[in-house]
């Protein structure tokens, strides 16, 4: 199971100005966490917190897994390519699971590949879209379109192109599509029912950024050979831990407490408040989980108003980095720039059979210290050295430690951050489940693209951005 080491966020490591007093974690902060745990227990599995039951064996898990597995078995061995169409929460989890649990060379492998090549089209960049479609002949490709409503402009545009292509170039277009959408209503639901597409549900009460452990993320994972039961087992084990009342035994409550307290609970002056939260895996395979975390943390906590309707402008800025790569590009800033960040390391204890041994007998005196060592040991030494360097500079940091990178650990990591987000939302007094600022951009896009009923948005855009420009040209 994952462990959380928060020692370097305490005052006895980084000093009283930048670290938390350990006594507060057994005093008032522990009391507050206990209250919030009781509150989350009351709302668990209701409203927009139904995501907490996705991994629970007595929740919605069984039905989802059976449906996903049945479709994965139906399509097994039939396709050279699986192309996911989605954006935001409908794509980031799929990408993160693939990067973490399959080799980086998955799409280049032959007979040993665990399933079809996987491409996730999470943008409407035409060059990127065209390049992927060019190497995915329709007759050899299954398309997994993910959209609860079917009206998100980016995914709708992708789907319209793909549907037209399948109609023109395949004998049975419906057999090439699996849609994950609302089980009862919406534009995509209507299209699927009329066309006879295979479908899986976007569960009610599960927002996009909390949906990776639902069919949204599970179908592409199962198609590519990932053990979805082990993934959900790890998530369930973590979710159970995160129901504990005691702060020092509840990793999500502790993670949220540290980040919120260091982010805004301190004296509000530069160099003391730490509203920037860096997540730095020391493992390439886990790097894209940092992308998934960025959406979860930013979209959930960045809110103009609190639940009382007061203007508060809450939130923290999530930043991703990669160890050891970014030791050579970012650590100069992290150590000597503004002391306004909390650093989260992700460490892997064992890389198992993937570890590589550095050969001996090269006869170079200054490199002899590396001979016979494993690259995994070097990578973890790099992490330990950076951890020390940050503590030396009074920069608080914590470590989430994986025993190994496998489905169980990845599932636990995902659930840890989801529950920590729920705690943080309560601590900040905001609604962690809405995203009104995102909706504004969607409506403006509809207006600019000429969607009926959104004409006023085009006028708003022109009024705000029109007039003489100040442009430098050649």
CB burial of residue 283 (10 Å; 0-12, 13-18, 19+): buried
d(CA 285, CA 101): 7
CA nearest neighbour of 281 among 317, 319, 250, 252:
319
Catalytic residue among 299, 347, 387, 407: 299
**381 strand-pairing partners:** none
- Site of tokens 């831990």: 241
Residues 471, 250: Cα–Cα separation, whole Å: 53
The strand pairing partners of 374, in sequence order, are: 357
111 is catalytic: no
Cα–Cα dist 30/179, whole Å: 44
Q: Is 439 a catalytic residue?
A: no
Which of 168, 269, 328, 452 is catalytic? The answer is 328
Determine whether 169 is an active site residue. no
Maximum Cα–Cα distance across the chain: 74
The active-site residue, picked from 140, 320, 442, 443, is 442
Q: Provide φ and ψ at 178, rounded to 5°.
A: -120, 120
Nearest in space to 334 (alpha carbons), one of 413, 285, 280: 280
Quote the CA–CA distance of 160 and 146 in Å, as a whole number. Answer: 13
Q: Give the closest residue to 94 by CA, choosing from 105, 84, 104.
A: 84
Q: Phi and psi (nearest 5°) for 214?
A: -105, -175
Distance CA 150, CA 298 (A): 24
Burial class (CB in 10 A: 0-12, 13-18, 19+), 375: middle
Instruction: Please check whether residue 163 is in contact with residue 173, taking contact to mean a CB–CB distance below 8 angstroms.
Output: yes
Q: Which residues are catalytic?
A: 299, 328, 442
């Amino acid at each position: 199971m994952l462990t959380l080491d928060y020692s370097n966020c305490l005052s006895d490591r980084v000093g009283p100005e930048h670290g938390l007093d350990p006594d507060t974690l057994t005093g008032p902060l522990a009391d507050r966490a206990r209250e919030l745990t009781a509150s989350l227990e009351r709302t668990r599995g209701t409203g927009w917190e139904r995501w907490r039951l996705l991994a629970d064996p007595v929740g919605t898990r069984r039905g989802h897994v059976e449906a996903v597995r049945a479709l994965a078995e139906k399509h097994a061995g039939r396709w050279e390519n699986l192309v996911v169409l989605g954006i935001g929460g409908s794509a980031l989890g799929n990408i993160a699971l693939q990067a973490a649990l399959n080799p980086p060379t998955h799409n280049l492998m032959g007979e040993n590949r665990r399933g079809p090549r996987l491409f996730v089209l999470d943008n409407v960049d035409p060059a990127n879209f065209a390049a992927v479609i060019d190497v995915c002949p329709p007759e050899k490709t299954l398309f997994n379109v993910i959209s609860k409503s079917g009206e998100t402009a980016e995914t709708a545009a992708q789907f319209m192109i793909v549907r037209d292509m399948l109609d023109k170039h395949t004998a049975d277009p419906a057999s090439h599509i699996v849609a994950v959408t609302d089980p009862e209503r919406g534009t995509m639901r209507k299209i699927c029912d009329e066309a006879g597409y295979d479908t899986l549900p976007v569960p009610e009460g599960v927002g996009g950024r909390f949906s990776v452990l639902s069919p949204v993320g599970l179908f592409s994972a199962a198609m590519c050979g990932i053990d979805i039961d082990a993934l959900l087992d790890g998530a369930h084990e973590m979710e159970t831990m995160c129901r504990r009342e005691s702060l020092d035994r509840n990793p999500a409550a502790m993670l949220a407490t540290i980040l919120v307290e260091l982010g805004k609970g301190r004296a509000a002056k530069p160099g003391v408040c730490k509203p920037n939260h860096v997540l730095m895996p020391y493992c390439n395979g886990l790097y894209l989980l940092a992308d998934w975390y960025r959406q979860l943390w930013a979209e959930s906590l960045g809110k103009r108003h609190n639940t009382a309707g007061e203007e508060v402008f809450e939130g923290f800025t999530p930043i991703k980095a990669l160890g050891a790569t970014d030791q050579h590009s970012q650590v100069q800033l992290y150590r000597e720039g503004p002391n306004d960040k909390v650093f989260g390391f992700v460490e892997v204890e064992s890389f198992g059979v993937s570890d590589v041994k550095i050969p001996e007998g090269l006869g170079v005196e200054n490199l002899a210290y590396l001979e016979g060592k494993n690259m995994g040991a070097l990578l973890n030494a790099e992490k330990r050295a950076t951890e020390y360097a940050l503590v030396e500079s009074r920069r608080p940091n914590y470590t989430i430690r994986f025993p190994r990178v496998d489905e169980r650990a990845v599932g636990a990591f995902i659930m840890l951050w989801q529950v920590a987000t729920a705690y943080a939302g309560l601590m900040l007094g905001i609604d962690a489940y809405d995203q009104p600022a995102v909706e504004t951009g969607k409506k403006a896009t509809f207006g600019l693209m000429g969607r009926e009923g959104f004409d006023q948005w085009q006028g708003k855009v022109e009024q705000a951005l029109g007039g003489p420009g100040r442009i430098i040209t050649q």
